[in-house]
Homo-oligomer: A and B are copies of this chain.
Amino acid sequence: MINVGIVGYGNLGKGVSLAIEKASDINCLGIFTRRNPESIRPLINTNVYEISKLVEFKDKIDVLLLCGGSATDLPKTTANYLKEFNTVDSFDTHAKIPEYEKALKDVAIKSKKVCAISIGWDPGIFSISRLLFSSVLPDGKDYTFWGKGVSQGHSDAIRRIKGVKNAIQYTIPKEDALKEVRGGKNPSLTTREKHLRECFVVIEDGADKEKIESEIKNMPNYFADYDTIVNFVSQEELDKNHSKLPHGGFVIRTGKTSIENNQVLELSLKLDSNPEFTGSVLLSYARAVYRLSKKGESGVFTVFDIPLKYLSPLAEEELKATLL
């Protein structure tokens, strides 16, 4: 059995805990939180501890699953956990991955621990597809589309507008763009041509709808470069129809192996629950971290570095006999 601990019990931590229930080779030693442990109701049968208790599990936990956010939480805390534990995280600020890795490298080497960073589906499974597709079809172009799915960052940005009580934002890939890409036309697509943004917004009584809609549509970085649809709805409707966190998307690469022959490679994910799926991916990489550590490896690993056989609970012989 592989013994793991969960640090942080938001949506991702919950997803990880549900994944542990489906893994017969993994055992959860506890959830560790900065909140009052009494306030947390785990979705699975396990103990909840204050984060300060973690040190007592130093020799019991094989891998720690870090379920904090990428903006401030992980950059501040991962190095510290890595001094005592093997870790897995879902750091997803793409532009800052090299910097994040650099900050952890020496710690991991010194503590002889294995640290898997930026695990999930993007970065993660999508990254695997981008690397694999570009390697096996070098003369081509690839495209990543996201959605249809809830973007937490964009939903939060709307919630910060004065007069807005609540909001959910869906990122939606444009069908025409997908079709053009799949057709092997290698189009140059603008931001606006690739994705649409649809918002469901609950406002305070008497708030100015027109002003809020304009503020959303013109928000730089978040919405200004997109076609954006704004729907005003009641809190009841939001709760009823928009309380799940679906997501997904497409990695498509098209290219040529000779003048006359086109090849189209596509990966697509359609996820009812983004955090549950991300949690499940994280857990499979926790298994890999455990195995790398048992082999005496140490350092920072990404999905590019880890042989896929380490992700499966099955023995190598069985993998080769059944899945190859």
- Pair A320/B308 contact, Cβ less than 8 Å: no
- Pair B18/A135 contact, Cβ less than 8 Å: no
Of the residues B15, B262, B267, B273, contact of A272 by C-beta under 8 Å: B262
Report B-chain residues with C-beta under 8 Å of the C-beta of A270: 182, 263-264, 266
Q: Does A130 contact B (CB under 8 A)?
A: yes
- Pair B308/A132 contact, Cβ less than 8 Å: yes
Within 8 A of B (CB), among A125-156: 125, 127-132, 134-139
Within 8 A of B (CB), among A299-321: 302-309, 311-313, 316-317, 319-321
- Pair B128/A132 contact, Cβ less than 8 Å: yes
Which 10 residue pairs are nearest across A and B when measured between Cβ atoms?
A135-B311, A257-B276, A261-B272, A261-B273, A304-B309, A264-B270, A135-B284, A130-B323, A135-B312, A136-B281
Task: Mark interface residues in A95-139 (1 if CB within 8 Å of B CB, else 0).
Answer: 001100100000000000000001000010101111110111111
Task: Mark interface residues in A68-108 (1 if CB within 8 Å of B CB, else 0).
Answer: 00000000000000000000000000100110010000000
Of the residues B130, B261, B279, B320, contact of A97 by C-beta under 8 Å: B320
- Pair B306/A307 contact, Cβ less than 8 Å: yes
CB proximity of A95 to chain B, nearest CB, Å: 9
Q: How many residues of A contact B (CB 8 A)?
A: 68
Of the residues B135, B265, B284, contact of A136 by C-beta under 8 Å: B284
CB proximity of A154 to chain B, nearest CB, Å: 22
Cα–Cα distance between A132 and B19 once the two chains are bound (Å): 15
Query: If the complex has contacts A22-B139, A307-B307, A313-B138, are A324 and B118 also in contact, measured as CB distance less than 8 A?
Result: yes
- Pair A312/B257 contact, Cβ less than 8 Å: no
Given A132-B308, A264-B270, 11 further pairs, Cβ under 8 A: A18-B257, A97-B324, A123-B324, A128-B308, A132-B311, A135-B312, A257-B276, A265-B267, A265-B268, A265-B269, A266-B270
- Pair B131/A308 contact, Cβ less than 8 Å: yes
Cα–Cα distance between A308 and B303 once the two chains are bound (Å): 8
Report B-chain residues with C-beta under 8 Å of the C-beta of A182: 270
CB proximity of A137 to chain B, nearest CB, Å: 6
Q: Does A260 contact B (CB under 8 A)?
A: yes
Report B-chain residues with C-beta under 8 Å of the C-beta of A260: 272
Closest residue on chain B to residue A264 by CB atoms: B270
- Pair A324/B94 contact, Cβ less than 8 Å: yes
Report B-chain residues with C-beta under 8 Å of the C-beta of A127: 323-324
- Pair B131/A125 contact, Cβ less than 8 Å: no
Query: If the complex has contacts A18-B258, A263-B270, A268-B266, are A304 and B279 also in contact, measured as CB distance less than 8 A?
Result: no
